[in-house]
Amino acid sequence: MLDKAEEASRSAPKRKRRVVGMRRRWIMGSVLPVIVILLLIAALTSVLLVTNFYSNARSALESKARARRKLFQHLCHGQLQRVLPQRSALRQGF
């Protein structure tokens, strides 16, 4: 038969084991600062990557817009250069 102490320990709900004493001091003193430093490094790295990505995307879009604006200006200017002599010739004909 089981002892009364064994029966009581089996029937009693198991409690979560708390971190106390030297283990807690070890965790708070050495492991926690390392985790905090790693989290800060991860956060700073993600911020830098996002900033770099958006600045590169913005500069690429601005350069495309600049190139298209120059192309449009060149096309318009070229068409005007072709139209102006014809227009002046028409004026002289009247």
Residue 5's pLDDT is what?
57
Average pLDDT along the chain: 78
Residue 26 sits at the vertex; the CA angle it makes with 25 and 27, to the nearest 5 degrees, is 90
Asked if 27 contacts 19 with a C-beta cutoff of 8 angstroms, the reply is: yes
Tell me the per-residue pLDDT of 66-86, one tens digit each, with 9 for 90 and over.
888 888 877 777 666 665 665
How does DSSP classify residue 12?
A: S
Q: What is the pTM of this model?
A: 0.47
